Amino acid sequence: MKLYLYLFLLPVISLSAQNYTDYLGSGHSAGITVTASSSKTGPQGLQSLVNGKGLDDSLFDASRFLAQASFGAKIDYITQVKNMGFEPWINDQFTKPASLIRPKLDTIWNMLYNIYISNGIPEEDIYGPAAVHFNYAYWDNNLKNADLLRHRVAEALSEILVISYNSDLEGSAIALSSYYDMLLQNSFGNYKDLLMAVTKHPAMGYYLSHFQNRKTNVAENTRPDENYAREIMQLFTIGLVELNNDGTPKTDNQGNQIPTYDNEDIRQMAKIFTGFGASGVEPWVDWQINDTFYIDFYAAKKDIPMKMYNNWHEPGEKIILKQLTIPSGQSGMQDVDQAVDFLFNHPNTGPFISKKLIQRLVKSNPSPAYVDRVATVFNGGAGNPRGDMKALIKAILLDPEARTRAGMERPDAGILRPPFLRMLHLMRTLDLEQPQNRYLHNGYSIIEDVGQHVMASPTVFNFYPPDFAPIGEISDNGLVAPEFKLHNSSKSIRYLNSIFGTSFWGTAFWSWDGDYIPNPTVNYAHYISIADDVEKMLREADILYTHGQMTDQTKAIIRQALKDMYWNWNNNYEWKHYRAGLLIYLTMISPDYNILK
């Protein structure tokens, strides 16, 4: 929001209202008279100076930036980012070591295992580590970590390069955590390296069935599995139709979109991804096998890249998209390297991946110009290597369409916050208490309530297609709103109930091991300390959650509700606790919060 300070006004302030010693603004303006040494007219600057909007603008900007670049933060951290500046903060985040999930998983699982044994649970009845333990580790990490940007980018990548425990992977937290750590470790690297790491990861191999994918056997009438071959093109690199650099589809002379591949291209690509198998076996395996290619996923090591077994790799020439001929006589990994390199360098990959990441981090409907600017960076047009993730992240988060007032006011601005990110954002902004400093969320309750949790997509196509548009004004205007795919009457009501429970019941969330590790609770001491000052409560909510975009109408509704939450028939100030909970509840269910602009 633009702040006009006319000729660096020197205000003279006289107070005749209540004397606030904490700060000026956000409603603390009654009875204040302003005069200036300039005769320049125009009330906006004076109003902004007195009502606090001008003083908070930079905090609002920093809070909004962190809503895109992290899972959210408290006011002290928002203030640090405001003072540091956005690009310096990004540069600093690039230096933060990755807080990996697997070490956290091992610590939590070993702790729980010992607790189970000490409580007399037979070893044969102990199940894990499974997906719920991955969720424990994920939440415990993301409520404490310092590498905020890395985890935000990795979560976005997990919605593009999808595996899910909504599959047989549910039984292997090691595979899940190893895959997510691979995303973390490559978030600031190069997209080509990331694509290769995804291709070789056993969790992806199992999920998209190129683990133990075998060469053609004419006698048995078997052919290579085509699953990964299809998805690495459709979802991970080039998409379904040829694109201009700005993400818009190319058309032929008849105005028809041009497909990027056909069924024969899939069959040719499938030959590439044959021969992958286990690189090792789990420590408990006590049997021998002559050809380790036959080691199934259950017995295979799940945290090291798959190995190429050339005897099981499809021999012969392969023709990729009718453009690249991969010669016969190469090793399996040489074939894979050439195919991945070809897809990485395809002109579609830059705009395709750039637009997907913009949609995950900033807005649902980036303009073609925004996509073009970011894709140009992906392509190496800013003097960086092609696929440089650091340059790509900066291009997305620092683009004028993401950062400026003009960008916010575009008719295509905004995104419905993904429900999982809303829940995580809330927990990162509240003061939580847990006696052992362990924050173990089972995750499944979020899936039940709002239909989303990291690494729990129903299919490889993520929770929502990137081109989903609900019927009505959005689709009528040619816009998309992917997250609205999850926004139905049932999930909306369950979201309200979930936020109500957190706001008023005191328990932040539940693990499945609450009998051993107490569930974290919400400490409202800070909000209770300012509960007498409704305007200050509104200001903090606007900074933390709505980033300066809380409308006057929403403020009026919440203001009146907070004032009504009062009684004087006891001395324990219980009403202050409920007033705090009401502030959080009404803010979190408001459209001002749920639509991030």
- What is the chain's mean pLDDT, rounded? 91
What separation in angstroms does the CA of 43 have from each of 3, 8, 47, 49, 532?
Answer: 11, 14, 6, 10, 30
What per-residue confidence (pLDDT) applies to 40?
41
What per-residue confidence (pLDDT) applies to 360?
98
Instruction: Give the E-state strand segments of 445-578 in sequence order.
Output: 521-522
Concatenating the DSSP letter of every residue in 58-121 gives HHHHHHHHHHHHSS---HHHHHHHHHH-HHHHHHHHHTSPP--HHHHHHHHHHHHHHHHHHTT-
Q: Given CA atoms 521, 525, 527, 528 in this order, what sign does their dihedral have? A: positive
Report the C-alpha gap between 410 and 438 in whole angstroms. Answer: 42
What per-residue confidence (pLDDT) applies to 38?
39
Q: Read off φ and ψ for residue 433, nearest 5 degrees.
A: -125, 135
The DSSP element (H or E) to which 596 belongs, if any, is: strand 595-596
Q: Given CA atoms 208, 211, 217, 220 in this order, what sign does their dihedral have? A: negative
What per-residue confidence (pLDDT) applies to 454?
98
> What six digits make up the tokens of 63?
């809070």
Per-residue b or e along 399-417, where b marks 16 or more CB atoms closer than 10 Å to that residue's CB: bebbbeeebbebebbbbbb
| Total-model pTM | 0.90
Q: What is the CA radius of gyration of the chain?
A: 27
* 379 alpha-carbon distance from chain centroid: 24
Q: Read off φ and ψ for residue 522, nearest 5 degrees.
A: -90, 130
> What six digits make up the tokens of 105?
């998983």
Upper half-sphere CA count for residue 473 (Cβ side, 13 Å): 2
Upper half-sphere CA count for residue 200 (Cβ side, 13 Å): 20
Report the C-alpha gap between 186 and 302 in whole angstroms. Answer: 18
Contact 160, 356 (CB under 8 A): yes
What per-residue confidence (pLDDT) applies to 28?
42
Report the C-alpha gap between 516 and 111 in whole angstroms. Answer: 10
The DSSP element (H or E) to which 195 belongs, if any, is: helix 191-200
Contact 276, 309 (CB under 8 A): yes
Q: DSSP secondary-structure letter at 412?
A: T
Every domain of the chain and the residues it spans: 1-51, 213-236+261-347, 415-596
Q: Read off φ and ψ for residue 308, nearest 5 degrees.
A: -90, 125
Helices (H) and strands (E) in the chain, counts: 27, 10
> What six digits make up the tokens of 254?
């008849």
Contact 585, 503 (CB under 8 A): yes
What per-residue confidence (pLDDT) applies to 311?
97
User: Cβ neighbours of residue 441 under 8 Å, at least 6 residues apart?
Assistant: 135, 136, 138, 139, 509, 510, 511
Q: What is the identity of the amino acid at 356?
A: K
Concatenating the DSSP letter of every residue in 347-399 gives TTHHHHHHHHHHHHHT-SS--HHHHHHHHHHHTTTTSSPTTBHHHHHHHHHSS
Report the C-alpha gap between 131 and 137 in whole angstroms. Answer: 10
User: Cβ neighbours of residue 488 under 8 Å, at least 6 residues apart?
Assistant: none
Q: DSSP secondary-structure letter at 545?
A: I
What per-residue confidence (pLDDT) applies to 24?
39
Upper half-sphere CA count for residue 142 (Cβ side, 13 Å): 30
Residues of the chain with pLDDT under 70: 1-56, 571-572
What per-residue confidence (pLDDT) applies to 571?
66
Report the C-alpha gap between 505 and 107 in whole angstroms. Answer: 30
Segment 164-204, tens digit of pLDDT: 999 999 999 999 999 999 999 999 999 999 999 999 999 99
